[in-house]
């Protein structure tokens, strides 16, 4: 077998593996989308291309008299946006401090973050519930925002700190010679160069509350305060809850804001890759 044939075989196998992986990933997504247009409430007869497609399930979700879906959607968006803003602000400042300064407790702080990110959130469910009850934050969105923000800090601080370490410290020294203070260096020099990692942190921070069910189920009690994950679960878990196709329609709509945010931040991902490839 000559080199050209070997290259062709490797290329064919590579594309075949990629095609199989794409099929495995896309099939459930396409099936859920098809189910959302399928008439009736059962998923048993659903297919990727429904025979009698209908928008009734989407109309039901957007009808306040039939569903609280819009309320759940607003609650989730509010929690996600506030969590994202707080997380990006706190993570960027903490990562900058760990990257640029040497202070007492720095090493212990990094080790503590490393240990905390190894502990899953559900391991502290009882402590979270008791703490929320004692502070009067049970059944409030503020409790979820604080929990999500705190849970995002350890891993993302390490991630951002590693990126800040790649930004030359000579830029800070040059700015300091020109009379720039600590905050000005952080805000006007380091932050513009750190947009790619901040975009990653923002995306992670936004997705986490959108996809979480366990913590929201533990903290929230009132139906008007439910997030999408809890609300959709209650839709099919009640005694007569068999609206599985409506559940599918609600699940499809969850992807819209995440896709919009990803497409909005995509230019920062690309600029980060380009900057990393041209450094010398």
- Range from 48-52, 122-126, 130-134 that averages highest in pLDDT: 130-134
- CATH number (domain holding residue 101): 1.10.3720.10
Range of the domain at 269: 67-278
pLDDT at 279: 41
Task: Please indicate, yes or no, whether residues 214 and 130 belong to a single structural domain of this protein.
Answer: yes
Three-state helix/strand/coil letters over 65-130: CCCCHHHHHHHHHHHHHHHHHHHHHHHHHHHHHHHHCCCCCHHHHHHHHHHHCCCCHHHHHHHHHH
Higher per-residue confidence, 42 vs 114: 114
Task: Please indicate, yes or no, whether residues 47 and 170 belong to a single structural domain of this protein.
Answer: no
Task: Please indicate, yes or no, whether residues 28 and 162 belong to a single structural domain of this protein.
Answer: no
Q: Tell me the two tokens of residue 8.
A: 């062709």
Task: Please indicate, yes or no, whether residues 174 and 256 belong to a single structural domain of this protein.
Answer: yes
Task: Please indicate, yes or no, whether residues 23 and 159 belong to a single structural domain of this protein.
Answer: no
Residue closest to 97 by CA, chosen among 193, 166, 186: 186
In this prediction the pTM is: 0.85
Task: Please indicate, yes or no, whether residues 37 and 91 belong to a single structural domain of this protein.
Answer: no
Task: Please indicate, yes or no, whether residues 79 and 8 belong to a single structural domain of this protein.
Answer: no
Task: Please indicate, yes or no, whether residues 8 and 98 belong to a single structural domain of this protein.
Answer: no
Residue owning tokens 């960027």:
92
Contact in structure between 186 and 93 (CB atoms under 8 Å): yes
Rounded CA separation 157/117 (Å): 10
Task: Please indicate, yes or no, whether residues 114 and 52 belong to a single structural domain of this protein.
Answer: no
The string of pLDDT tens digits covering residues 178-220 is: 888 888 999 988 998 899 999 999 999 999 998 899 899 999 9
Q: What percentage of the chain has pLDDT greater than the value 70?
A: 91
Rounded CA separation 130/217 (Å): 14
Q: Where are the beta strands (DSSP E) in 130-190?
A: none
Rounded CA separation 114/29 (Å): 34
Segment 71-82 mean pLDDT: 95
Residue 170 has phi, psi (to 5 degrees) of -60, -30
Domain boundary among 58, 82, 97: 58
Segment 242-253 mean pLDDT: 84
The string of pLDDT tens digits covering residues 125-160 is: 888 899 999 999 999 999 999 999 998 998 899 989
Task: Please indicate, yes or no, whether residues 21 and 118 belong to a single structural domain of this protein.
Answer: no
Task: Please indicate, yes or no, whether residues 111 and 135 belong to a single structural domain of this protein.
Answer: yes
Task: Please indicate, yes or no, whether residues 118 and 192 belong to a single structural domain of this protein.
Answer: yes
Residue closest to 157 by CA, chosen among 219, 88, 206: 88
Q: Tell me the two tokens of residue 268.
A: 């920062």
Instruction: For the chain, give the mean pLDDT.
Output: 86
Q: Tell me the two tokens of residue 21.
A: 């992986």
Overall domain count for the chain: 2
């Amino acid at each position: 077998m000559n080199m050209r044939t070997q290259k062709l075989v490797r290329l064919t196998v590579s594309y075949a593996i990629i095609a199989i992986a794409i099929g495995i990933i896309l099939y459930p997504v396409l099936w859920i989308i098809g189910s959302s247009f399928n008439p009736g409430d059962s998923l048993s007869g659903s297919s990727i291309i429904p025979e009698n497609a209908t928008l009734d399930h989407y109309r039901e979700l957007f009808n306040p008299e039939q569903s609280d879906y819009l309320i759940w959607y607003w609650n989730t968006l509010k929690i996600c946006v506030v969590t994202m803003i707080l997380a990006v602000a706190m993570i960027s400042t903490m990562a900058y401090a760990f990257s640029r300064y040497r202070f007492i407790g720095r090493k212990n702080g990094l080790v503590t973050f490393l240990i905390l990110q190894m502990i899953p959130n559900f391991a502290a469910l009882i402590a979270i519930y008791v703490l929320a009850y004692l502070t009067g934050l049970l059944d409030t969105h503020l409790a979820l925002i604080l929990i999500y923000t705190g849970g995002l800090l350890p891993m993302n601080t390490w991630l951002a700190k590693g990126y800040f370490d790649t930004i030359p410290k000579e830029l800070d020294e040059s700015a300091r010679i020109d009379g720039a203070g600590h905050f000005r260096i952080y805000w006007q020099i380091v932050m513009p160069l750190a947009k790619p990692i901040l975009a990653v942190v923002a995306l992670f921070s936004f997705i986490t509350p959108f996809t979480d069910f366990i913590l929201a189920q533990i903290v929230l009690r009132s139906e008007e305060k439910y997030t999408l994950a809890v609300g959709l679960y209650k839709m099919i878990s009640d005694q007569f809850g068999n609206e599985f196709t409506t559940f599918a329609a609600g699940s499809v709509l969850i992807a819209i804001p995440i896709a919009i945010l990803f497409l909005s931040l995509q230019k920062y991902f690309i600029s980060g890759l380009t900057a990393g490839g041209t450094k010398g």
